[in-house]
Structure 1
């Protein structure tokens, strides 16, 4: 039989109590769940922070696991290399071994000093006594055995030349006549030979003024002040202005010009030194930046008639050159780093072999016009390969090659275009040596003087003239 409910109020009361207890239980469970959710969110935030920190640490550690960038596999200058990398650079070369033994090869013409036909002094070397019996050899027969010549530097001491200036009095009119106006400065002066040597030591040997003054004092016994040295360099700069203008004209009229730029510390700031050079002329100048506007202001519309040989600095590609050739030496160093970064892949090695083969083809046929179409097609086939699995660095290199593909093999079609920009880099490298010795230029005039005189020196070398003779010509010596 079914149970009969006799007291409805009691049943409702019991149900109300149970519902209240259930609400309390649900409330406690909800609070616990909210607390757990907050703890979970906090843990998730901590995990995300740990993941981010782990990624940063992995990135920092990656530079110790990946090959270092140096001047052999990147555009890192030698001055910023570590000691270990410098040792490797000085003892290792990127050139492939030829299989030949080191040293002079068979059939190579030897070289030695030749005897002078007119020696300044002759010394007779003959024994005076017989080592066998002790007899005097004063009256003995003398037979020439052999001849040697010894080269020595003459005694270095200044030659003081006194010039006595006379005034001639004309008998007819009584006028007092001089050969030249009387000097108003010191009666003792230095001539062009001393000035030329100072400029040579400063511009060609990159010595600071203090070391030049010390050298002159200790070796020659002359002691000009450092202020005099500065004045002589400035005098050479003034005398060089017509030649600098002529060099600029020749560079502007040239069909193939190599460009490069480098930092130049001057008067407590960072300026930029630029070089524009051809086979026969070199022009260096200073600017406050490295934008394309610098070349536009300096060389004007002549840029539109030039084939520029440069690295891949963006400023060069913003200019309207007639044609362009990117430096393959830069690309080969970058590809060398890719090969060191991942030794299991051969993509970078194939492109390296292609570039080296093209350079060898030009070197083998220096005056032949070689169509670049087939070479560009071979490069395109390599650039179509998917390198995303090799990492972002490989994708970056690939994009860079695609961007400049039209400017890689132009040197094959024009024998006048070099495959690299090494000439410009060598020309501007001397500035870095000067800064390494002197740390900085203390004035704008000093920096401009070095760059302009260095232009004279480099141009003279390209015309088979010695730098010292070129500097002497500036002083009329």
Structure 2
């Protein structure tokens, strides 16, 4: 027999169920609020993470900037020229190692001093006329030579005016024959070959500005010459050097080892470039409007198929076709000096610096092709391979970029260890191109492109003369004297 629930029991049950429903709704609302709160926290957390990443990036940038201020690049830890150094560079940045030698001239060095000549141009005899003790006359006594002293001096320089006069003669046949003026005597008066050579010497060897050159000719040589006249003489002399300039270019191209470099130059307030390709006996310099590879292909379209090209790693040189390439190790060492200062915790840069130093020392200390030399060379190549297989930390951005560059240039780093006449540095090319910087500091910019090319052409000839041990002024006067024919 079933017992029906009473009204009170049903009401209590309903009330209990309603309470549970309310509790469930409250929990659902609370859960929804917690979900929304959680989503807000997730969104806030993502913002914090993003902000943290930005702060970390900013921190690295500020550290790099602070390092740049504390350790500025200079001529000792980068490829910057010494003229750009703001202050004296730190001593520990030099690539030169200390030695046991004392400062000054070394033992066995042959010095030069002012010496008396055995054949003086003028002799002045100083003979006493009376006795300094008793006052008696000494004219009847024979003098005895005691000492000789000489003074070397330059007499006042006076221009020599050479006049050419032509005459005519009448033959029995009635024909009148008139003599011709020699080559170069084209006007009623003109400057001779010695002045022409001297202008080129002052311009491209002593780097005198036109105004100061004009003053020298007026004050020292008593010759009046205008700045326009100097410019004309330089143009004329430059034309005479063209055959020699072309010969230098051809011989450089056919050389077994060639150094290359380039530097900026101001021409009419615009930045242009001077390029050089040189050997121990030859220097070829040219002016260009750009620093691109088209300059190389313009002057050497076939590249250097039989040569080893030594350079500082600038892309146009690196892409030049050549039998071999050699990167300049001092450039790399200076770069590593800077990177090792910046990333002190990284050992890769230190190891690579030591590898380059060991390679340079090997070439200096052991005879080429010696058995021990060959063994040590193999160790250096093996060490290079190991370093390139273990890259530095990618967070060391500039060091990692240097590492990638070394991977690209790995075949060009130690060419000098395999070829005896190949240098490990590009110093000779830098010396060949440095003269334009000296010229600009003394004389300022070139006003026209023709003037820049004239300087490059004349300086190429002068540098080649110097490298071959000849007298610059004599050779320039000889070039000015003769009209050369183009040699193919």
Distance across 2 between alignment mates of 1:46 and 1:413: 54
User: What is the CA distance between 1:310 and its match in structure 2?
Assistant: 1.0
Match of 1:76 in 2: 80
Which 10-residue stretch deviates more, 237-246 or 295-304?
295-304
The Cα shift of 1:344 comes to: 6.7
1:400/1:54 CA distance change after superposition, 3 Å: closer
CA contact (8 A) 1:456 1:470 kept: no
Q: State the match for 1:419 in structure 2.
A: 424
What is the aligned partner in structure 2 of residue 8 from structure 1?
none
Would the alpha carbon gap of residues 347 and 178 (structure 1) be closer, same or farther in structure 2, given more than 3 Å must change? same
What SS does the aligned partner of 2:153 have?
Answer: coil
Q: TM-score, normalised by structure 2?
A: 0.80
Secondary structure at the aligned position of 1:260 is classed as strand
CA distance in 2, matches of 1:56, 1:413: 42
* Paired residues for 1:142-153 under 5 Å: 142-153=143-154
CA distance in 1, matches of 2:401, 2:186: 65
Q: Judging changes above 3 Å, is the alpha-carbon distance between structure 1 residues 434 and 321 closer, same or farther for their aligned structure 2 residues?
A: same
How many angstroms apart in 1 are the aligned matches of 2:431 and 2:200?
21
Q: Tell me if structure 1 keeps the 8 A contact 2:159–2:222.
A: no
Distance apart, 1:270 and its partner CA: 2.2
SS at match of 2:336: helix
Aligned to 2:167: 167
Which segment is superposed worse, 137-146 or 321-330?
A: 137-146
Quote the Cα distance in structure 1 between the aligned partners of 2:86 and 2:401: 26
Q: CA deviation at 1:289?
A: 2.3
Task: Name the CA distance, whole Å, in 1 between partners of 2:293 and 2:398.
Answer: 27
Cα pair distance change 1:335/1:142, threshold 3 Å: farther
Determine helix, strand or coil for the equivalent of 1:361.
helix
Q: Which residue of 2 aligns with 1:402?
A: 407
Deviations, residues 383-439 of structure 1 (Å, cap 9, x unaligned): 445532883333233222232122111112111211111111111111121222233
Structure 2 SS opposite 1:144: coil
Q: How well do the aligned residues superpose, as a CA RMSD in angstroms? A: 4.2
Post-superposition CA distance 1:198-217 (Å, at most 9, x none): 11010111122122112212
SS in 1 for 2:322: coil
Q: Structure 2 vs 1, CA of residues 230 and 368 (structure 1 numbering), >3 Å: closer, same or farther?
A: farther
Question: Number of residues paired by the alignment?
Answer: 465
Equivalent residue for 1:331?
332
Structure 1 residue 309 displacement after superposition:
0.8
- Taking structure 1 as reference, are residues 357 and 59 closer, same or farther at Cα in structure 2, changes over 3 Å only? closer
1:252 to 2:257 alignment: no
**In structure 2, what is the Cα distance between the partners aligned to 1:358 and 1:199?**
43
SS state at 2:263 partner? strand
1:242 shift after superposition: 1.1
Counterpart residue number, 2:382: 377
CA distance in 2 between partners of 1:308 and 1:424 (Å): 11
Cα distance change, pair 129–362 in 1 and its aligned pair in 2 (3 A): farther
Unaligned 5+ runs, structure 1: 5-10
Contact kept, 8 Å, 1:127 with 1:137, in 2: the verdict is no
Q: Distance in 2 between matches of 1:349 and 1:306?
A: 32
Q: What TM-score do the two structures reach when normalised by structure 1?
A: 0.82
Name the CA distance, whole Å, in 2 between partners of 1:469 and 1:445. 25
The equivalent residue for 1:7 is: none
Secondary structure of 1:304 counterpart: strand
Alignment partner of 1:118: what SS? coil
Check the 8 A contact 1:253/1:302 in 2, yes or no: no
2:486 aligns with none
Residue in 2 that maps onto 1:119: 120
1:376–1:405: 8 Å Cα contact kept in structure 2? no
Distance change in 2, residues 1:325/1:386 (3 Å): closer
CA distance in 1, matches of 2:66, 2:164: 77
Match of 1:229 in 2: 230
Describe the shift of the 1:395–1:213 C-alpha distance in structure 2 as closer, same or farther (beyond 3 A).
Answer: same
Matches within 5 A, 1:437-456: 437-456=442-461
1:281-300 matches, cutoff 5 A = 281-300=282-301
CA distance in 1, matches of 2:346, 2:356: 18
